[in-house]
Homo-oligomer: A and B are copies of this chain.
Amino acid sequence: MQSILTSSYAVHFNHEAYKTLNKHLSRSNYSKIFVLVDENTHEHCLPIFMAQIDGEYDFEIIEIEAGEINKNIHTCTQVWEVLSELNADRKSVLVNLGGGVITDLGGFVASTFKRGIDFINVPTTLLSMVDASIGGKTGVDLGALKNQIGVINQPEMVLVITDFLKTLHERQLQSGYAEMLKHGLIQDIKYWNRLNTIRNFDKLDQEIYDSIVIKNKVVLEDPTEQNLRKILNYGHTLGHAIESYFLDSEDDELLLHGEAIAIGMVLETYLSHKLMGLSLNDMHAIKTAFVKRYGKKDISKNDIDNILPLLKFDKKNSHGEVNFVLLKTIGMPVIDVTVPSDLLKEAFAYYAE
């Protein structure tokens, strides 16, 4: 597959990815190569990855605990300290081998260590392949608030190796698929329709490629999120609040990012119908597609009362207003829509019915 060019680096795929990495390492004269993993990618992905590296380099493996709950400043401090102890310098490189927690946190750690060292992202989950591979967003959570601390900074390259998807459970694949469905909803009704026909995830290479192309096109047009790029937040305003709430709650069953975003998209589809004229048919079709794939989560009145106040922490807000991305039609989003608060509760009722 052809590499995808962003404004400052390229996303390389599979065989080509390893070839480009080997060329880059042999040319870069890095003082040391650090690889950030969690216990899962350490066991399942690192051996596959290392087997493809030609030549002898000074490697150090840094393992952190898996899970969104560890995507925080405390974990960053641990990684910064290990980098210091292992004599990382400005000519070192950090390879982030893992899902979104690893690439977001690792990108932030590298961007801030000695005011910035090189990093390379190797996403191993479907979610991080289609979402974190473009856009240069790095960061960590602050308490329950998602991605409150971070910077925009670009990796040297992103390597998408779809073989890693075989190491994932069905539920993790579905979580990533939610972001792909979002790319369809905000930009391309044909892509949305095609994705809805797919039940078997064995051969997703082309769909992953298409998703990255869509996201890249949006980010290239508006790198600093002044306007167009905000459309990528479809489903995320309520989705993030829901994810934050359940991350912090006593609820036993953790909600994955894509699962929270899927709920957010159903809710924001209702708002789109009410405020932007999205047709009743499309609204129902979107809800049906998501509920079929993700089931329905019980969200109590008490849950909702705790979720809604979290909207005020959304990074798109300013001057105390919550700004939503909504849909006019599938493929045609509108940004910066303010939503009356009674409609928000109606949206939850629609989701539940």
A positions within 8 Å CB-CB of B: 31, 73, 76-77, 80-81, 84, 87, 89-91, 108, 111-116, 137, 139, 142-143, 145, 147-152, 312-313, 315-320
Contacts and interface: CB of A to CB of B under 8 A. Distances in A.
A150 B318 contact: no
Contacts of A76: 73
B31 A320 contact: yes
A312 B87 contact: yes
Contact of A84 (B148, B152, B319): B148
> Would you list the 10 A-B pairs with minimal beta carbon distance, nearest first?
A91-B318, A31-B319, A114-B315, A89-B318, A115-B150, A89-B317, A112-B149, A31-B318, A115-B152, A80-B142
A98 B315 CA distance: 28
A329 to B, nearest CB: 29
Contacts of A312: 87
Contact of A143 (B81, B115, B316): B81
Contact of A113 (B80, B108, B149, B318): B149
B145 A90 contact: no
Contact of A148 (B91, B113, B152): B113
A142 B87 CA distance: 14
Contacts of A317: 89-90
B318 A142 contact: no
16 contacts: A73-B77, A84-B142, A84-B313, A87-B320, A89-B317, A89-B318, A89-B319, A89-B320, A91-B318, A91-B319, A112-B150, A114-B148, A114-B150, A114-B315, A115-B137, A115-B147
Contact of A90 (B77, B90, B116, B315): B315
A81 B31 CA distance: 36
Among A91, A112, A115, A147, the most chain B Cβ lie within 10 Å of the Cβ of: A115
A160 to B, nearest CB: 24
Nearest to A109: B149
A213 to B, nearest CB: 24
B152 A116 contact: yes
A76 B74 CA distance: 12
